[in-house]
Structure 1
Amino acid sequence: MNNSGIIGAGAMGYRYGVLLQENAGVDVDFIDTWQPNVEKVREQGGVTVSRNHQNRHIVPINIYYPEEYQGKPDVWIVFMKQMQLADMLKRCAPLFNDHQIVFSAMNGMGHIDKLRNYFNDDQIIGGTAMIATVLNGPADVDFMGESGAGEMHMANYTEEINDNIKAVEKDFKAANLNPIITTNFMGTLMSKVVFNAVVNTLCTMFELTMGQFIEYPGAKEMSTQLMNESYDACERAGIQMIETRQQEIESVDYVSRVSNPLHYPSMYQDFSKGRPTEVDYINGYIAKIGREHDYICRTHEFITHEVHLAEMMRKYKQAPAKQMATEENSIA
């Protein structure tokens, strides 16, 4: 691809875009609607990039609101929150054409159906990214892990290996993103969903890093229970996963214990900043697959409610301290 348009200048959008620009020599434009983010990039002349909290520096980039962008990229790379995607695609719709392809490795599931409203099936590449990145604030991103850490999988919606996916793979390799092509679309995407359904949700509810979660002696048992429900639901839906249950359980252990023990998952990052989480598109999506095939994922159903309860309880978090202060003033 000669040029790429990144839809969503968040943690992963910045990482893919900056690495493609710097390592693969791709011309990259960023499209975003978060005003503080866009204006900060323009104010400081680029995005602040660090790696593992070190070597903070400005990387010059081009960033636009959808309505002002006039470019015609070969490839769109989409990294949005699931609940924000429909509106963003509607605003970007005038920019799409039949000659472009689109790649997305968003968390959760739901985005592919939305992308199919604007792109033909043979234009869509889906993927997963086991690449930890943190957005510290507007125009400020931190790449976690050493250069070249992590990997990603990608598959055409049609499950073919054609020139389009090979071209995208070539640039992702040059960008040091470690792409792996598969011919199993749903099995590839669901492999990340079932992983996140363990780590993202449990770390978020208990406000833990991945390393702190795996330190708990019962972490493997919890992972196994959730994985078994996920795989039972997927099997009933006819989804052939690209990894076995045991491999997924071992992946949770390895990534949490070795690869990213200090990392707070993306769902926690949303939760801690008062934003809605994507639990409906992760645990909730697995539960939906189960219900549609006469199987109740009781643990996933319960955890989905638990995360929403934790979201609601944020408004009461300061209540005890305020109440205590009021009581002390009354006594005084």
Structure 2
Amino acid sequence: MKIAIAGSGALGSRFGFALHQADNEVVLIDNWVDHINAIREHGLKMTIDNQTHNAAIPIITPQEIPANVTVELLIVFTKAMQLDQMLQDVKPIMNDNTKVLCLLNGIGHEDIIAKHVSRKNIFIGNTMWTANLVAPGHSESFGAGSVNLQNLAPGEENMAIAIADVLTEAGLNAHFTENVHNTIYLKACVNGTMNGLCTLLDVNMADFGATKDAHDMVASIVKEFAAVAAFENVQLDVEEAIEFVEKCYDRTTIGEHFPSMHQDLIKNHRLTEIDYINGAISRKGRKYGVSTPYCDFLTQLIHAKEDIILK
């Protein structure tokens, strides 16, 4: 399959590498000059469970998309706040049959994608794979992961299953689900706890989990996600969601991982996606009349941290 990865940072590179190794025709798209130059000069370096591989995968900026070249599948891995502009920029690589799969952290991205793509071509989901950028051109991943996805428009179930099959053949453990919003909200509970809290405390997930107040903090945030989700016909089992989050503490799987928000703000001094995670719950809480004090405060704290670091 001809596949483009729009947003080829840590996780985009991980998926691009896996799909390339499975003999798909892959092109990476990104705007980070140092990353692009490193991959062009040395290939994409990918370290998986402490084994390092190298792959010669083409990488371009959106402005370098060749004329009359389109792909069958576009997977978007931008930061949430970059999604709208990226989709505008990569329009030349899409045609009326190009499918777009969104696996971004956060909630509500389909509304942005629908501004650029027919709803019948939109597929949404989430992933539990993790990755870090070691350096430009070098991504690192460890532990197992999975992908859940669904078609946005009715009648496209067979295509959703076909996309899941392509990802699974590349070792990415993908599944078609008939209720992806449940899995998106469940993953959002992970992002809504681990991202902000690990960033503020400057720890990985295992070290956060070892604190005596970890359970109570996670439970308070998850309850707010569940209360908002109920107004969108998504029924989250709070105890199940808490248990799902707390599996992240396991050092033998992904516990040593620093969440993407920590990588963005603490390591790379970039703005975060907090407005699309806890901030989204705060906005929806105001809309539905649901009190979300923990998400409100966590969003404010991250913005304050951005002000301090990025001033």
Paired with 2:11 and 2:264, the residues of 1 have a C-alpha distance of: 14
The alpha-carbon distance between structure 1 residues 287 and 173, as it changes in their structure 2 partners (threshold 3 A), is same
- Cα separation, partners in 2 of 1:296 and 1:126, compared to 1, 3 Å: same
Q: Deviations over 1:233-292 (max 9, x none)?
A: 111x23314x52111100111122253111100000001111001111100001111111
1:118-163 Cα offsets, whole Å, 9 max, x none, are 1111111111111110012211100122xxx111211111255622
The equivalent position to 1:292 in structure 2, one of 287, 300, 306, is 287
Change in Cα spacing, 1:300 to 1:215, as seen in structure 2 (3 Å) is same
Unaligned runs of 5+ in 2: none
Write out per-residue CA displacement over residues 138-191 of structure 1, whole angstroms, 9 at most, x where no aligned residue: 11100122xxx1112111112556221121111111111111211124323222
Q: Which of 84, 87, 90 is residue 88 of structure 2 equivalent to?
A: 90
Corresponding residue number in structure 1 for 2:133: 135
Tell me the number of residue pairs that the alignment of Structure 1 and Structure 2 aligns. Answer: 307
Query: Retained in 2: the 8 A contact 1:78–1:104?
Result: yes
User: Higher mean Cα deviation, 250-259 or 153-162?
Assistant: 153-162
The answer (yes or no) to whether the contact 2:148–2:180 under 8 Å persists in 1 is no
Question: Which range moves more in the overlay, 78-87 or 66-75?
Answer: 66-75
Residue in structure 2 matched with residue 271 of structure 1 by the alignment: 265
Query: What is the match of residue 186 of structure 1?
Result: 181
Give yes or no for the alignment of 1:48 onto 2:45.
yes
1:58 aligns with 2:51: no
Give the aligned residue type for 1:301.
Answer: D
2:208 to 213, 238, 242: 213
Please, which of 255, 260, 265 is the counterpart of residue 248 of structure 2? 255
Tell me the amino acid that sits aligned with residue 214 of structure 2: A
**Aligned counterpart, 2:118:** 120
SS at match of 2:250: helix
Q: 2-side partners of 1:270 and 1:239: how far apart?
A: 32
SS in structure 1 at match of 2:4: strand
1:39 maps to 2:32: no
Q: Which region of structure 1 is more displaced relative to structure 2, 185-194 or 272-281?
A: 185-194
Using a 3 Å threshold, how does the CA distance of structure 1 residues 238 and 151 change in structure 2: closer, same or farther? same
Match of 1:97, SS state, is: coil
8 Å Cα contact 2:150-2:157 kept in structure 1: no
Q: Secondary structure at the match of 2:271?
A: coil
Q: Percent identity?
A: 29
Q: In structure 2, what is the Cα distance between the partners aligned to 1:163 and 1:110?
A: 23
Q: 1:27 aligns with which of 25, 28, 31?
A: 25
The one-letter amino acid of 2:120's match is D
Aligned residue for 1:73?
Answer: 71
TM-score (norm 1): 0.88
- Shift of residue 315 of structure 1? 5.5
Question: What's the counterpart of residue 16 of structure 2?
Answer: 17
Match of 1:4 in 2: 3
In the TM superposition, what is the alpha-carbon distance from 1:68 to its structure 2 partner?
2.1
Q: Which has the larger radius of gyration?
A: 1
Q: CA deviation at 1:94?
A: 2.5
Query: CA separation in 1, counterparts of 2:9 and 2:274?
Result: 19
How far apart in 1 are the matches of 2:107 and 2:223?
Answer: 19
Tell me how far 1:298 sits from its aligned partner.
1.0
Cα distance in 2 for residues equivalent to 1:103 and 1:247:
27
Determine if the alignment matches structure 1 residue 201 to structure 2 residue 199. Answer: no
CA RMSD, Structure 1 to Structure 2 (Å): 1.6
Deviation at 1:80, TM superposition (A): 0.2
Q: How many angstroms does 1:111 deviate by?
A: 2.6
**Offset at 1:110?**
4.2
Give yes or no for contact 1:159–1:185 (8 Å, CA) kept in 2: no
Gaps of 5+ in 1: 317-332
Q: Indicate the residue corresponding to 2:165 in structure 1.
A: 170
**Partner SS, residue 90 of structure 2:** helix
